[in-house]
Structure 1
Amino acid sequence: MGNPIPTLKVVLILIIAVNAVWFTDRLLSLIGMDLLGLLPSTVWQLLSAFGSGLLIIFNVLLLGLLPKLQLKPE
């Protein structure tokens, strides 16, 4: 496995985008608009599954990066 940093950046940006959708839905629900009701439930389920998959990938990549980290002695 090469340098995982670029892949981590892309995955992190996608995680932020997915979370922005959920955040927007919650903000709109405060003012009475239902973003969740505008789209089919299949779309929301796919978005949720995509977000969960991204979190798993992100954590696996972080685990792969851990052996490369070196702690400096105090």
Structure 2
Amino acid sequence: VLDDGAVTDYRFEVSGTYPPKEYVLQYRESDLHFVQRMMAEHGMWYYFDHSDSNHTMVIVDSNDAIAPLISSPLN
């Protein structure tokens, strides 16, 4: 779904192993809602890693996978 949609740059940083599903149905929901539902079933969520050249969707299943925030002064 991600490859067919608008998200072209993503990566998985998961600690668990997840077997493929034999059959999944997407009915009357957007691609975003479908992906969020599939991730939620396994306790996964995502954030975006922003850089000057692109924005990467990072899919995680553990708080340990989240990069620490870098503090910067506010103007």
Q: Mark the structure with the bigger radius of gyration.
A: 1
Greater share of strand: 2
Q: Structure 2 length as normaliser, TM-score?
A: 0.23
RCO greater where, 1 or 2, for CA within 8 Å and sep 6 or more?
A: 1
Q: Structure 1 length as normaliser, TM-score?
A: 0.23
